[in-house]
Structure 1
């Protein structure tokens, strides 16, 4: 599921006639621009071959919006743009400034990994277990969209034939054990530093771990590969 931490605003504002737009539903031009913004936002993190279908809903019939000469669509902070979502409309040129949200349904069909056969939990994935095929990924959270098959990974839960492979299906990789010596990498503006440290916990993929470095200092780091971590700023 995709989220945006800041406001995403349409490049062109909507120009609406100076009349109320609440009771009559969403004007055609508004609906078109809202749909375009939803599609652009959904495509931002998708491969080029993905298909995006957007259905724009209606404003709440109880709304009575003040006349506005210029209305601007935007993506609210943190809003998910797959599946059922809401986009914003705000008046930026009118006697009364207002802001409302409009329901949208965003369907995303993209190439992804699906199970070629039923796979029980604990299966070590082999090439023949998966096939690369278009599927609706907006109905699932965290689909595996990378074109490289996760061969060698272990399933944490079962997959039905044809089911989309998602990140939660994959058992977290352990890159090292507690007490192992690991290489610690720091990266910053114009510099990169490496040093050795001792892991104080198991190195699980995507989970922070404490590492003791030279001088006894303890830092937080992210496991990224076999006996390798990246220091967290």
Structure 2
């Protein structure tokens, strides 16, 4: 007969045995989330890779491509492969590439791929409040996979010239174009000088700006007599036109 003093010890032994059994079962059971896709074997791989390289030519960064085996398995042999992008797919990040076999027994498969684009983008070095003008020290260049960042992330420093934050930008976050607006140096109704340049001549006149405008933007100016002239606003506040 088991005495009460032995009951806790027996419970401890049972708990240890159960934990060992559960640990062994966990080790033998494949993880549902840890499965690594297998690279695509066969001659279709270089064809798909070259197709994606052609599709990504001109992207702002270093492109690397991973092509995985579809869940249906390796592709059947084919001597006339034709890769294509399915409707709605694009060669950016995780994507899918269609492959047609144009033979007497045609088939079509869809192959998972990942297009990684490592490039430069800009992130804030401090919290920038809405309405604040961005100074050079407020952002820094970083390098990363652009496909994992917002599509509107700033990748060119020229996009940061003379801009104001239209939303609060958290410290260390990627700077996005929709969070910026131009720093208006001309206000609607302000008197402004318009310079028209042509072959061997320069003509200047004055008028009123029809809208607020930032440097580098196109602005309309109403001159005497009601005529509207359009030109590019220079940083010195003069509208420049070319004939």
Deviation at residue 150 of structure 1 after TM alignment: 1.2
Equivalent residues of 1:175, 1:224 under 8 A apart: no
Among candidates 102, 108, 127, match of residue 118 of structure 1 = 127
Among candidates 58, 78, 84, match of residue 69 of structure 2 = 58
Among candidates 117, 126, 143, match of residue 108 of structure 1 = 117
Deviation at residue 89 of structure 1 after TM alignment: 1.7
1:55–1:200: structure 2 CA closer, same or farther, 3 Å change rule?
Answer: same
**Partner residue of 1:136?**
145
Equivalent residues of 1:176, 1:227 under 8 A apart: no
Structure 1: gaps spanning 5 or more residues: 1-24, 186-195
Among candidates 171, 175, 194, match of residue 161 of structure 1 = 171
**Partner residue of 2:43?**
29
Distance 2:218 2:163 in 1: 20
Q: Report the TM-score when normalising by structure 1.
A: 0.56
Structure 2: gaps spanning 5 or more residues: 1-38, 197-204
User: Residues 68-79 of structure 1: matches in 2 within 5 Å?
Assistant: 68-76=78-86, 79=89
Q: Which has the higher contact order (CA 8 A, sep 6+)?
A: 1
Q: For 1:107-131, what per-residue CA distance to the aligned partner results, in whole angstroms no more than 9, with x for missing partners?
A: 2221222222232333211111111
Deviates further, 131-140 or 99-108:
99-108
Q: For 1:179-223, what per-residue CA distance to the aligned partner results, in whole angstroms no more than 9, with x for missing partners?
A: 78898x9xxxxxxxxxx9998766689x999999xxx999xx999
Q: Report the TM-score when normalising by structure 2.
A: 0.54
Aligned residues between the structures:
195
Among candidates 180, 184, 207, match of residue 170 of structure 1 = 180
Structure (1 or 2) with the greater helix fraction? 2
1:69–1:143: structure 2 CA closer, same or farther, 3 Å change rule?
Answer: same
Deviates further, 160-169 or 107-116:
160-169
Deviation at residue 158 of structure 1 after TM alignment: 2.7
SS state at 1:105 partner: strand
SS state at 1:171 partner: strand
1:208–1:128: structure 2 CA closer, same or farther, 3 Å change rule?
Answer: closer
SS state at 2:163 partner: coil
Q: Which has the larger radius of gyration?
A: 2
Deviation at residue 137 of structure 1 after TM alignment: 1.8
Distance 1:53 1:64 in 2: 22
1:177–1:55: structure 2 CA closer, same or farther, 3 Å change rule?
Answer: same
Deviation at residue 31 of structure 1 after TM alignment: 2.6
RMSD: 4.8
**Partner residue of 1:41?**
55
